[in-house]
Amino acid sequence: MKSLFLFLFILSIFSAASFTQTKHKNGQNISKKLFGKLNNGKEVYLYSLQNKLGAELKVTNFGATVVSLTMPDKNGNYKDIVLGYDNLKSYENGTSYFGAIVGRYANRISKGKIKINGKLYQLSVNEGENQLHGGKIGFNKMLWTAKTFVSKDGPSIELTLLSPDGDQGYPGKVTLNVTYTLTNNNELKISYEGTTDKTTVLNPSHHSYFNLTGNFSNTILDHQLKINANEFTPIDKEFIPTGKIESIVNTPLDFRKLTAIGAHINDNFEQLKFAHGYDFNWVLNNYNKKVREVADVYEPTTGRYMQVFTDQPGLQFYSGNFLNGTEIGKNGIHYNFRTGFCLEAQHYPDSPNEPQWPSVILKPGQIYRQTTIYKFSTK
């Protein structure tokens, strides 16, 4: 009897710790395990999605966060290519937005102030006097609900967040659905749908840091980047757009052809000094609300190649300038200076205060939509 109890006890520990398979279809698997409990006692899960080719995406419903993504190199070796943590506590305490959905408003809002229909709203501020990525408790720090299924393109997870009226100072109760699909074509496809019950602003984005070498002790400086943009939105010393749109031609921000990220990162250029490297919004070409290819990245040593497609007007390219070794990631790795880069599809920063730019207003009865795809292959 005693040994039966012991056996059941060990079995229960084992099953709590390992993934339980919930769905399985033609080589596509979806499974789920407990990731941990929040301070308020709520349970948080980690979901694993595998496609037909053998790539794996792990997502937690805390912050709708991508925790890991494996992709093959030119020799077929799969490695995790996104930065992140291996425990929930670090996601609760972390300040780098690894893999999260950021919102309601990705990027900065000057002084955390917006005007809607002539009424001024003071939002929560969390970067000096300004707001970054939605305020003190952004979407990345909230618990989302999750539903998994195998779609026609591959295994999917749909995450839903209810952001109440007044959340971080924003008007309107917002419901946001974000669906990640790991397609059978090695794409990470992200589809967003949002609604509100009062006029508000909505501009969420995905914040994965990539390192296509799959070895996070390497910097990303030898990755080659191309961005389909001729212009950007210059910033002041506080990273707030000046309201101008300027050409990137003959500047270190010219990525119209594949160029090593490190080639001009230390050039004597005021904008690079303000941002400590690349941390700007590129004004993407051919904005007509349809999905088009906007950027590609090639990593020469592994041959990994990433293409970015989106229907958004802007792309924030951030070269990991604030990583300084203090963040301890998966497998105890310290993420050092410029060991990951982000390509965040979004509207231009501070658009609520720049009415000449594409609008970020969402009204009751309208549906906010975004599609962004990161497609992986080798060359």
Residues making contact with ligand BGC (CB under 6 A): 96-97, 239, 279, 316, 318, 322, 342, 344
At its nearest, how many Å lie between ligand BGC and the CB of residue 132? 7
Nearer to ligand BGC, 105 or 376 (CB): 105
Minimum distance from CB of 205 to ligand BGC (Å)? 8
How do strand 361-362 and strand 304-310 relate by DSSP bridges? Answer: unpaired
Q: CA 13, 327, 168 angle in degrees (round to 5)? A: 90
Number of Cβ atoms within 10 Å of the Cβ of 95: 9
- Distance in angstroms (rounded) separating the CA atoms of residues 179 and 127: 29
**Shortest separation between residue 48's beta carbon and ligand BGC, angstroms:** 26
**Residues 150 and 156: beta-carbon distance below 8 Å:** yes
CA distance 243 to 350: 9
| Cα gap 344→341, rounded to integer Å | 10
Q: How far apart are CA 65 and CA 206, in angstroms?
A: 9
Using the minimum distance from each CB to ligand BGC, give the nearer residue, 190 or 342. Answer: 342
* Least distance to ligand BGC, CB of residue 307, Å: 20
Per the CB < 8 A criterion, the answer to whether 28 and 51 are in contact is yes
CB closer to ligand BGC out of 74 and 111: 111
User: What is the nearest approach in angstroms of ligand BGC to the Cβ of residue 204?
Assistant: 12
Which residues are registered as beta bridge partners of 200?
Answer: 362
Residue 369: CB atoms within 10 A of its CB come to: 11
As measured in angstroms, the least distance from the Cβ of 246 to ligand BGC is: 18
CA distance 341 to 24: 33
Closest CA to 105 of 322, 368, 371, 342: 368
Cβ-based nearer residue to ligand BGC, 85 or 239: 239
Select 116 or 275, whichever has its Cβ closest to ligand BGC. Answer: 275
Q: Rounded to an integer, what is the distance from CA 356 to the centroid of its chain?
A: 26
**Are 341 and 317 a contacting pair, CB within 8 Å?**
yes
Task: Point out the residues that are catalytic.
Answer: 207, 344
* CB closer to ligand BGC, 35 vs 318: 318
